[in-house]
Amino acid sequence: MPEFATLASPYSMPAALHGDVDLSDPEEQTRTRALNQFLAGVELKAFKIAQAALRHEDDALDAVQDAMMQLARAYADRPAEQWKPLFYRILENRIRDMQRRRTVRGRVMAWLPIRGEDDDEDFDPVAQAPSAEPQPVRRLELAEAMGALEQALEALPPRQRQAFLLRTLEGLDVAETAAAMGCSEGSVKTHYFRAVQTLRAQLGELYL
C-alpha cells in the first residue's frame, strides 16, 4: 500500500529526494535533517489546529502544506528556534486567507460538520485506523471528551481558539504564541484566559 511507504521514519528519507540540495555539504545535510525533524514534529498538531479553524480536512491539509512550503523556501536559513513561531504565523495567515476566500464566495462551510468522513469515496478501514489503541472504555471516554471539546472550540472566537490551541496543544509559551499570532503578549494572555473560562463553563472542570 503506497501509504505505508511514506510512513517511514523521517530520518530514513532517501537523500535523493532533495533535488537541488548539495548532499556533499555536511552543513546542508544537518540543516535538512533538522528541518525535516521540525516539520515532522509539528505537522500533526498543525493539522488539528488548521482543521479546528477551517473545519475541512482537505483545506486544513492544504494550509499545512503551504505553511511547510513557505517555511522551507523562505526561512530555512533562520535559526531552528525561530521556526515554530514562524511556522504557526504562516499557518495562521494561510488559514485567514482561506477563511476570507470562503467569505467572499459566500459559502457557509463554517456551519457544517467536519468533512472528510462523509465524502470519502473509498473507505479504507486500515488507513482510517488510529495509530494508538487505548483501552476500549478509555477510548470511549476520550472520544466523547474529544467531541465535546471540538464542538466547544468551534464556538470560540478565532483568536481565542488559536491562543488556546497554540498554548495547550502545541505548547508554545506566551512570547512564542504572541509571535505566532502577531499580537502582544498581553493579548495572548487575555485571549487564552477567556478561552479557558468559556470552555470550562461549557465542559465543566472534570469532564474527563
| Percent composition of the chain: helix, strand, coil (DSSP 3-state, to 5) | 70, 0, 30
Q: What minimum distance in Å lies between the beta carbon of 34 and another protein?
A: 11
Q: Are 82 and 180 in contact (CB under 8 A)?
A: no
To another protein, the closest distance from the beta carbon of 132 in angstroms equals 5
CB atoms within 10 A of CB 147: 10
> Rounded to the nearest whole angstrom, what is the least distance from the CB of residue 100 to another protein in the complex?
22
- CB nearer another protein, residue 100 or residue 200: 200
Give contact residues for another protein (rule: CB under 8 A). Answer: 2-4, 6-7, 10, 13, 17-22, 25, 27-28, 31-32, 35-36, 39-40, 43-45, 47-48, 57, 61, 64-65, 68-69, 71-73, 76-77, 124, 126-132, 134, 142, 145-146, 149-150, 164-165, 167-169, 171-174, 196, 199-200, 203, 205-208
Side-chain half-sphere exposure of 66, counting CA atoms within 13 A = 17
For another protein, the closer of residues 79 and 130 by Cβ is: 130
**Residues 105-139, buried b or exposed e (16+ Cβ, 10 A)?**
eeeeeeeeeeeeeeeeeeeeeeeeeeeeeeeeeee
Q: Would you say 115 and 102 are in contact if contact means Cβ atoms under 8 Å apart?
A: no
Least distance from another protein to the Cβ atom of residue 17, Å:
6
Residue 97 vs 173, nearer CB to another protein: 173
